[in-house]
Amino acid sequence: MITDDDYLYFTGRALDGMTGIVAGLGDELANTRPALPGANSPYALLTHCLGVVSYWAGALVAGRAVDRDRDAEFGSAGPVRPLLDQAAAVRAQLAEDVRSAEPDAPLRAAPPAAFLGPDRELTQGAALLHVYEELAQHHGQMEILRDALLAGEPAGLPR
């Protein structure tokens, strides 16, 4: 089985990739949606990923109360610096949550169906795998968003 350090290495790579993209795009482009059907801004996608980590690892694995508005994550916007600071704090908390997890134990609560997680009963270890799944998936998605934005095709601009 993988170690906590292995898990945190790979989740960290995904988070570093996303925060690097948002930082590199800056305030304006990080908050822009590219002209792709259903696309989110990189800022909103990182906000969503931080919500995923906080809720799945914090509430369902560690048992902390986590207030999350999943729908609002996708409409979020703002300056990049505070979001990057939030990402660093979420990453540090994830390390604590992973190290205190009981991989074979049941979740500390049932995830709401609206959160679109796996459609089966999960252990704490499986919930942490879902966190990695989301981070890896959205990191790749954000690379595509960045490429589209840098190509100069934000929503509403002619091609």
Q: Which of 88, 87, 90, 85 is nearest to 64 (CA)?
A: 90
Higher pLDDT, 80 or 154: 80
Contact 46, 14 (CB under 8 A): no
Q: Which of 130, 103, 145 is nearest to 11 (CA)?
A: 130
Q: Which of 128, 117, 145 is nearest to 18 (CA)?
A: 145
Indicate the domain borders of the chain.
4-150
State the average pLDDT over residues 149-159. Answer: 64
Res 100: pLDDT:
97
What are 114-149's pLDDT values in tens digits? 776 777 889 999 999 999 999 999 999 999 999 999
What are 100-115's pLDDT values in tens digits? 999 999 999 988 777 7
Rounded to two decimals, the pTM is 0.92
Res 158: pLDDT:
41
What is the CATH number that goes with domain 4-150? 1.20.120.450
